[in-house]
Amino acid sequence: MNSAETLLNLDRCARLGFWGQSWEAPAIHPNEVLRRAVDAGLLTEESDPGQLAGDTVMTLASERTLDVEGSQYQCALHHAALADIIVTALRGNGERWARPTDLVTKGLTWVSSAFLAPSGVRLRRVLLADRWSNERFQSEVHSWKGLGEVAAYGMPLTMTVVLIGQRRDGRHHTPFSKGWAHPRSRTLRIRKRAGEFKENWHEVWRETSDFNRDHWLDQMRQDYVLNDVLFEKEISVPDQAVLSKVAHLAEKKLRALQQTQETPDPNPSVCFWPVPCQFRKCCWEFTVPSERAGFIPINGLVLQPAQHRT
């Protein structure tokens, strides 16, 4: 787990931050699967990074349980197609993305969740969001994955926002996934054009349609949809006083977590929103995570002393 993720968990619930250092629940939320798959696709050297991202979803779905109601297979298939097209839209035929190097300060290691732009003087991040607003932008700017990363590296950050729409019945309602096909000509549309759709165009989902990924992306461009659901936002470097306050706060919180021995109290009001917490079963059945209960021990903790890291 990276450092910003640990701090985000701590902000949500001290117990989540504490347990999240050492355990992962057997069931994994589809949004987390999608995030990991997109990261894998951006970092891979494979010739088809989109395919690799889709395969990553299927692998995670087969090795773990997806934390959803309804069909596991359909959910996996949908997210695999989504990961594939998102990575293809982000990377095209470009070089693999890279992470900045870990930072070591006074025995704490900052493991970045961001990517390093090819220039080497700017960070970048991919944000998968259901919808966009100014409030969401402010939230992301002030998040540990925004200002936290900027403060750690002293670099501005370009955030690429990918709108994946609301998830209903295991599927994201987004132009990356959903379109319309003409009943006779089999023409694909992602957005209605004036005078069209008088006939009985029917809804199509990419993972179950005959339209291939590149055609779908082309159609998103032709229908002027792509720029609505994939765009960039900049986070600049604040003045030195803000930078050092944020960096100091991050260090203080991580060090306090490092020294925590007892399981912190629960925060019941945040167990199920904005996404269900992975430890909700433990907390509401008054148990603790363990291998016996199916939890997966994780290592590579951000709080390991620097000399233990390679």
* Binding stretches for ligand SF4 (CB under 6 A): 13, 15-16, 266-268, 270-271, 277, 279-280, 283
Nearest to ligand SF4 of 13, 235 (CB atom)? 13
C-beta contacts of 197-203 below 8 A and 24+ residues apart? 203/178, 203/179
Closest separation between CB of residue 256 and ligand SF4, Å? 17
Closest separation between CB of residue 294 and ligand SF4, Å? 16
Nearest to ligand SF4 of 85, 282 (CB atom)? 282
- Structure tokens given for 261: 């021995």
If one counts every other C-beta atom within 10 angstroms of the C-beta of residue 1, the result is 18
Q: Please tell me the distance from the alpha carbon of residue 96 to that of residue 196, in angstroms, as a whole number.
A: 40
Nearest to ligand SF4 of 222, 267 (CB atom)? 267
Closest separation between CB of residue 35 and ligand SF4, Å? 19
Q: Please tell me the distance from the alpha carbon of residue 150 to that of residue 116, in angstroms, as a whole number.
A: 11
What is the enclosing helix (H) or strand (E) of 50? helix 49-63
Nearest to ligand SF4 of 16, 85 (CB atom)? 16
Nearest to ligand SF4 of 90, 283 (CB atom)? 283
DSSP character string of 132-187: --HHHHHHHHTSIIIIIHHHHHT--EEEEEEE---EETTEE-STTTEEEE-TTT--
CB 60 within 8 A of CB 26: no
Closest separation between CB of residue 232 and ligand SF4, Å? 32
* Residues paired with residue 231 on neighbouring β-strands, in sequence order: 161
Q: Please tell me the distance from the alpha carbon of residue 246 to that of residue 102, in angstroms, as a whole number.
A: 18
Nearest to ligand SF4 of 19, 115 (CB atom)? 19
Nearest to ligand SF4 of 49, 266 (CB atom)? 266
Determine the 3-state secondary structure of 26 from DSSP: coil
Determine the 3-state secondary structure of 250 from DSSP: helix
Backbone angles phi, psi at 241, to 5 degrees: -65, -45
Closest separation between CB of residue 239 and ligand SF4, Å? 34
Closest separation between CB of residue 26 and ligand SF4, Å? 15
Q: Please tell me the distance from the alpha carbon of residue 216 to that of residue 150, in angstroms, as a whole number.
A: 35
Closest separation between CB of residue 23 and ligand SF4, Å? 10
Closest separation between CB of residue 193 and ligand SF4, Å? 46
Nearest to ligand SF4 of 249, 271 (CB atom)? 271
